[in-house]
Structure 1
């Protein structure tokens, strides 16, 4: 049976289309023993969290234990929000977060997407976390990675020299890390 990988897209008007290259790269790197599920997550602009955490929860509920979660940008921060605010009823092999923004500030629009102050203590204890960020990312500042490092010192952090916000369309390192979970 193929191992399931749920990929959560980044935000923006064309986030789903833009992240398709990352999904393709990941599938190429993982090979035929992995099935990547890539649902489109539409935004509800009337909801303070754009409705993403609820949709992510619905996607996770349909998976079999032992799956892998991969998320990019806004999707990564919303995945963390969902799993830190909801009791884990699943067992995941690993959680892989690419260019995850660490929302801060007092602007009204950020309040629904910010993580709770104690989010790290609320995360599932049996999950491994991996963070990836390109130093030349112009969308999500590289120093956001440091915020996660301070909150989750037990996670794995990968600093990538170049590739920008879209990792140059290649995420081979993520595929290698996923495969290593099963060795």
Structure 2
């Protein structure tokens, strides 16, 4: 019997460059690592230069709702924020979410306050029942590495992986291989 393909949905961050970066650097490694039993999707999120949380949540729901197979969500940067909100609010069947270099909008850092992307107390409570894995590079020049510690405090049950010397836009091959292995392990 041929197993049904599972689907990995990547949610890119803000800016057109973010989607192009994932398409060029992430997708080839993930496809090669996951093999033929996985389909990798990278939906084009609306207006990435001036993102709207509501529009991105609708676009992600539309992309995911049409998939009949098992879905794993991976969000990068702002896409990580949206993936967390989506899972918390839609309560999908998948129980594991993978988040790379996501901004923490719930903290005291005044540079990172944008209420539409902030997790609500209900979102936080809902996410406690999900397996979460956070990835962050120590030299992230866009989303401060300290945001990972904020997520660790909020979700002590989450797994975290750090990559010494990795920045926001140039992923290490070891990160992509770890991500692929983590995603493959959640298939069962």
Matches within 5 A, 1:103-114: 103=105, 104=107, 110-114=114-118
What is the distance in 1 between the residues matched to 2:79 and 2:119? Answer: 13
Aligned to 1:14, the other structure's residue is in SS state helix
- 1:46 shift after superposition: 7.8
Tell me which of 41, 44, 60 is aligned to 1:40.
Answer: 44
Cα 1:50–1:19 change in 2 (3 A) is farther
Q: How does 1:137-176 map to 2 (within 5 A)?
A: 137-168=140-171, 170=173, 171-176=176-181
Identify if the C-alpha distance between structure 1 residues 47 and 35 changes in structure 2 by more than 3 Å, giving closer, same or farther.
closer
- 1:128-143 matches, cutoff 5 A: 128-143=131-146
Structure 2 counterpart of 1:97: 99
The TM-score with structure 2 as length reference comes to 0.84
**Is 2:5 aligned against 1:2?**
yes
Partner of 1:14: 17
Q: Which residue among 23, 30, 34 is the counterpart of 2:34?
A: 30
Q: 1:162 Cα shift?
A: 2.3
Aligned-pair distance for 1:49?
2.2
Question: What is the TM-score normalised by the length of structure 1?
Answer: 0.86
Q: Which moved more, 1:48-57 or 1:29-38?
A: 48-57
- CA deviations over 1:80-105 (Å, ceiling 9, x no partner): 12222x241x3115211111110145
Q: Which runs of 5+ in 2 are unaligned?
A: none
Distance 1:108 1:179 in 2: 32
Is 1:123 paired with 2:123?
no
**CA offset at residue 66 of structure 1?**
2.9
Instruction: Note the residue ranges of structure 1 that are not aligned, 5 or more in a row.
Output: none
